[in-house]
Amino acid sequence: MTGILELKNVSKSFGGIRALNDVSFTLTEGEIVGLIGPNGAGKTTLVNVITGTSHASSGQVLFDGDDVTKQRPFQAARRGLSRTFQIVQPFPRMTVLENVAAGALFGNVKSKGDVKSALVNARQQLEFTGLADQADRPASNLTIAGRKRLELAKSLAMQPKVLMLDEVNAGLNSSEIDGALTLIRRIADRGITILLIEHLMKVVLSLAHRVLVLHHGELIAQGGSAEMVKDPRVIEAYLGKKYLRRAQEGNGNG
Amino acid sequence: MPAVLRYVLFAVWVLALATTPLWADNYVVRVAIIIAMYTGLVLSWNFIGGFAGYPSFATAAFFGLGSYAGALSQIAGLPSVLAWLFATVFVGAFAAIFGVIILRLRGHYFAIASFGVVEVVRLVLSSWGSLTGGGDGLNVPLVTGSPNTVAQSFLAVMTTIMLVVFAVTIIVDRSRLGFGLRCIQQNEDAADMVGVDTTRYKVIAFSLSAMFCGTIGAAYASWTGYIDPTDSFSIVMTVKVPVMSLLGGPGTVFGPVVGTAAFLLLEEVFWTNFLEYNRAILGAVIVIIIFFLPGGLLKFPYRKMFTSITRRGETPAATS
């Protein structure tokens, strides 16, 4: 068991606001870890710091033993640190196939680097994610669920070692979520480490081996997903002190 | 239109331009040289403005710098072809250095900065009198020969440069570089996220868009035999080039060729028929075309237009 991604005392401030405060954790190769927290807890900032979209004010990000704190996003992509966006980011006037090929062409360092083999690789990813029949449509024509899948296919084409999924299930209906769950499980079966940023407890509970809880930029708790749901700090962060007291009284009374 | 047909039409067009000395008078040959020259400039602009989507107004800076680099090295004793090559490399390197600075800006800000490059280069060259002759301009060693042979040889030179830029355009269009530039054009942040080294790609595109303008500027200096700052750094040129590209369809291989031809032929018609109002009419035509054809002439749905016209003809007949 080796740590593939490690954060050491990472902090990030925007002006006077501390979006991340002294966050440290390690992801082990092959595991699925959930990252939860209320709105504005700093989840997306954390992913941005890991992928080089913004840089940590202090602390260190280590990937595969290398210090990658100051990397730029394209370098993160080539190293195998891939992400999807909460707000999907397609190339709107390209076809679905071309969108995915872009990931294979530029993000996959093991590829031959020519457009033709990138298109072949892209088609495989579309088969895998169930988008094959949409391959030649413009990306802007896809439904929300389709676009989320496109984001996934694009990241997979980059052959990532660590995949960060930023709310890939937001805005999906429950049958679409079930489809997405199976898909994420199959991605994990390929040996890809997954960091799952999620609001939906159903998703986190059914997928994650371990959960990190972020609140006001601080990592307030981490552990197995079932115990995290019962953790008083987590309940307080999500539902407030009053609810916590009431819940504990309720438990005490029987 | 099938791809093969496009190439055939392009070949016919190039042949028509190149053979003008055989079937037309010197005036038409001159127009053909100008068309070949502008096609080269517009194809060059297409690398940064079309593929990468960065609206550059720096064409005149590269053209002017190329004409001075070519003229000065010719005066220093370099044979003309070597002087043109020197201008190409010099302007390409200049654009790479400037690109690193101004390509940090996006959209309108980049457009304004690129406009600034024209003014900076023009002011430096016109103030540096001891080297460039300042406002008096420079005399370039004249090409010897009768006016006819000179026109013919410069037609050959400009057509060759245009074909070289066209070939480079095809290569870029099909390569990893072209793919990456298109990604940048559509969503630069997403391009960065999938692993495109956006800074490097943009600098390459900017440098490509500059170097051939340098060649064309140097060849132009040799052709006219005299250059001065106002002629070499014309604001009209820096605006015309993007307009021609938009007219044809930016980011495509054939758009720049079609746009340049359409624009320059229209301009010819208005010059000869409306001597006083030609600029005003041309301006109005540009506004109308850009307004109604946002994707350029190549993207216009001709088939749809024809079917709707024929249908409109049929409906009254059917009801009566």
Q: Give A181-214 pLDDT, tens digit per residue.
A: 888 899 999 889 999 998 777 788 888 889 998 9
All residues at 6 or more sequence positions from B76 whose CB lies less than 8 Å from its CB, including other chains: none
- DSSP code at position A134: G
**At A220, which helix (H) or strand (E)?**
strand A218-223
pLDDT at position B318? 42
For residue A151 the two structure tokens come to 């984001």
DSSP annotation of B299: G
Q: What is the pLDDT of residue B313?
A: 53
Which residues from A are below 8 Å from B186, CB to CB? 91-94
Residue B51 pLDDT: 94
CB A7 within 8 A of CB A59: yes
Residue B131 is predicted with a pLDDT of 87
What is the C-alpha separation between B131 and B105, in angstroms, rounded? 32
Higher pLDDT, A141 or A251: A141
Task: Provide the pLDDT for residue B292.
Answer: 81
DSSP secondary structure string for all residues of A31-68? -EEEEE-STTSSHHHHHHHHHTSS--SEEEEEETTEE-
Q: Is B190–A74 a contact, with Cβ atoms under 8 angstroms apart?
A: no
CA count, 13 A, side-chain hemisphere, A208:
30
Tokens read off for A96: 């679905």
Tokens of A124: 């495989």
- The distance of B190 to chain A (nearest Cα, Å) reads 6
Residues of chain B with pLDDT under 50: 315-320
A78, closest residue in chain B (CA to CA): B195
Query: pLDDT: is A227 or A91 the higher one?
Result: A91
- The residue extents of the domains of chain B are 3-319
- Mark out chain A residues that contact chain B at CB-CB < 8 A: 51, 53, 72-74, 77-78, 83, 85, 89-94, 98, 101-103, 105-108, 113-115, 154, 158
Please tell me which residue of chain A has the smallest CA distance to B188: A91
Collect all residues of chain A within an 8 Å Cβ-Cβ radius of residue B194. Answer: 74, 77, 102-103, 106-107, 154, 158
Confidence of residue A65 (pLDDT cuts 50, 70, 90): confident
Token duo for residue B243 = 């307009």
CA atoms within 13 A on the CB side of A159: 13
| Biggest CA pair distance of chain A | 68
Q: How many residues does chain A have?
A: 254
The confidence score (pLDDT) of residue B305 equals: 67
Share of chain A above pLDDT 70, in %: 97
Distances from the Cα of A96 to the Cαs of A103, B187, B195, B273, in angstroms?
Answer: 12, 15, 18, 50
Residues of A in contact with B193 (CB under 8 A): 51, 53, 73-74, 77, 83, 85, 89
In this complex, do A91 and B196 lie within 8 Å of one another by their Cβ atoms? no
CATH number of B3-319: 1.10.3470
Per DSSP bridges, beta strands A162-166 and A193-197 are parallel
Inform me whether the pLDDT recorded for A254 exceeds 50: no
Tell me if B63 sits within 8 A of B213, measured CB to CB: yes
The verdict on a CB contact (< 8 Å) between A115 and B174 is yes
Ranges for all domains in chain A classified under CATH 3.40.50.300: 1-80+160-224
Give the residue on B whose Cα is nearest the Cα of A93.
Answer: B186
pLDDT in tens, A36-62: 888 888 888 999 999 998 999 999 999
Q: Do B192 and A73 touch (CB under 8 A)?
A: yes
Fold of the A1-80+160-224 domain: Rossmann fold (3.40.50)
- Kindly report the number of other CB atoms within 10 A of residue A96's CB atom: 28
Most confident region among A4-8, A219-223, B303-307 by mean pLDDT? A4-8
- In B, which residues are within 8 Å of A89 by CB distance? 187, 189-190, 193
Nearest to B79 by CA among B228, B222, B213: B222
- CA separation for the pair A51, A73 (Å, rounded): 6
**Nearest residue of chain A to residue B199 (CA atoms):** A74
The C-alpha atoms of residue A113 and residue A107 are separated, in whole angstroms, by 10
CA atoms within 13 A on the CB side of B155: 23
Residue type, B182: R
Q: Tell me, what's the pLDDT at B235?
A: 84
Please give the radius of gyration of chain A, using alpha carbons only, rounded to the nearest integer.
Answer: 19
User: Of A10-14, A171-175, B88-92, where does mean pLDDT reach its minimum?
Assistant: A171-175
Band (A220; pLDDT cuts 50, 70, 90): confident
Residue B320's pLDDT is what?
38
Which among B181, B194, B201, B252 is the top mutation candidate for probing chain A, defined by the most A β-carbons within 10 Å of its own β-carbon?
Answer: B194
Disruptive mutation site among A89, A96, A114, A154 for chain B (greatest number of B CBs within 10 Å):
A89
